[in-house]
């Protein structure tokens, strides 16, 4: 195990990380996008993005795009490289506000978090479409880990914290249990060559209807490219 520092809330840090990784000339077979914050008070990343959208979504969007060449070079016909992005069941209630992705008009921690998780699902589906169109030996899937007992809940109301403390052993998954579907997506032979899936409890299931809107997927992708400062090569594809 080798550690390389990467702050997903900083575009500069992400670019530095990718540069360091490329310098090692290592293959890249699995990328798991799993960083995140939840229900934080209104605040911005160093780049001026609303924190949920900037860290949970844009950070992973940029990281994945900058590592795509390494993933494509590492995947083969019989062993595809795999991209696994961790979303949440909250994406089902999320709404994507293309005209206000930074939640400047009306900030709600719950709304901003749900939007960032919906964006991850839309991103994954669009990414898989582009990978297939390019004939790449890379698959992209999205995972719902379930309700897991971690420090992610530190910004919820104190009443919720008390209830969580009292009931976590009964209703919450352990971190190990929460990671199981991500691991399944990363290494299971059953997932070889399968992309564009939404996985929960190691099974393929249906995501929110809006996540399958291909026009919304395209528009989000184009806008995301502008926000992180990369070229939208996908604009030349259907």
Domain boundaries, the chain: 11-233
Pick the CATH number of 11-233 from 3.30.360.10, 1.10.1060.10, 3.40.190.10, 3.40.50.720: 3.40.50.720
Angle at 139 between CA 4 and CA 117, to 5 degrees: 70
Q: Which residue has the tokens 């949440």?
A: 88
189-210 pLDDT, tens per residue?
A: 999 999 999 999 989 999 999 9
Long-range contacts (CB closer than 8 Å, 24 or more residues apart) made by 157-164? none
**Distance, C-alpha 10 to centroid of its chain:** 16
Q: What is the percent of the chain where pLDDT is above 70? A: 84
Structure tokens at 79: 């062993």
Please give the average per-residue pLDDT across 42-56, as a whole number: 95
* pTM for this entry: 0.87
Position 238 confidence tier, pLDDT thresholds 50, 70, 90: very low
Q: Which residue has the tokens 């995947």?
A: 75
Q: What's the sign of the alpha-carbon dihedral 219, 220, 223, 225?
A: negative
Buried b (16+ CB within 10 A) or exposed e, 120-139: bbbbbbbbbbbbeeeebbbb
User: Is 113 part of the annotated catalytic residue set?
Assistant: yes
Structure tokens at 130: 């582009």
Position 226 confidence tier, pLDDT thresholds 50, 70, 90: very high
- Count CA atoms closer than 13 A to 73's CA, side-chain side: 9
3-class DSSP assignment, residue 199? strand
According to DSSP, the residues that pair with 203 across neighbouring strands are 200
Residue 14 CA to residue 62 CA, distance in Å, equals 8
What local confidence, expressed as pLDDT, does residue 37 receive? 84
Alpha-helical regions (H) of the chain: 11-23, 51, 59-74, 109-133, 158-171, 175-187, 214-228
Please give the average per-residue pLDDT across 20-46, as a whole number: 92
Average pLDDT score, the chain: 88
Task: Assess whether pLDDT exceeds 50 at residue 188.
Answer: yes
Of 37-41, 109-113, 177-181, 219-223, the one with minimum mean pLDDT is 177-181
3-class DSSP assignment, residue 57? helix
Residue 141 CA to residue 27 CA, distance in Å, equals 20
Active-site entry in 57, 113, 125, 198: 113
What local confidence, expressed as pLDDT, does residue 104 receive? 85
Please give the average per-residue pLDDT across 79-97, as a whole number: 94
Instruction: Give, as one character, the DSSP assignment of residue 61.
Output: H
Residue 209 CA to residue 112 CA, distance in Å, equals 19
Residue 103 CA to residue 24 CA, distance in Å, equals 39
130-169 pLDDT, tens per residue?
A: 999 999 999 999 998 865 445 544 444 444 444 444 454 4
What local confidence, expressed as pLDDT, does residue 78 receive? 95
Please give the average per-residue pLDDT across 64-73, as a whole number: 97
Q: What's the sign of the alpha-carbon dihedral 115, 211, 87, 120?
A: negative
């Amino acid at each position: 195990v080798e550690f390389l520092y990467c702050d997903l809330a900083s575009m500069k840090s992400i670019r530095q990380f990718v540069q360091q990784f490329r310098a090692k000339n290592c293959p890249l077979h699995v990328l798991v996008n799993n960083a995140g914050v939840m229900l934080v008070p209104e605040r911005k990343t160093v780049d001026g993005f609303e924190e949920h959208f900037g860290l949970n979504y844009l950070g992973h969007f940029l990281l994945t795009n900058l590592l795509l060449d390494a993933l494509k070079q590492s995947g083969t016909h019989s062993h595809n490289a795999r991209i696994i992005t961790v979303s949440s069941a909250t994406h089902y209630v999320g709404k994507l506000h293309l005209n206000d992705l930074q939640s400047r008009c009306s900030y709600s921690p719950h709304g901003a978090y749900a939007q960032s998780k919906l964006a991850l699902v839309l991103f994954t589906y669009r990414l898989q479409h582009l990978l297939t169109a390019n004939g790449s030996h890379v698959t992209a899937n999205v995972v719902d880990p379930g309700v897991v007992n971690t420090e992610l809940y530190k910004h919820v109301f104190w009443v919720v914290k008390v209830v969580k403390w009292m009931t976590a052993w009964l209703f919450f998954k352990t971190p190990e249990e929460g990671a199981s579907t991500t691991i399944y997506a990363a290494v299971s032979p059953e997932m070889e060559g399968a992309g564009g899936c939404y996985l929960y409890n190691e099974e393929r299931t249906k995501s929110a209807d809006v996540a399958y809107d291909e026009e919304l997927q395209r528009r989000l992708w184009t806008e995301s490219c502008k926000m992180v400062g990369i070229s939208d090569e996908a604009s030349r594809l259907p």
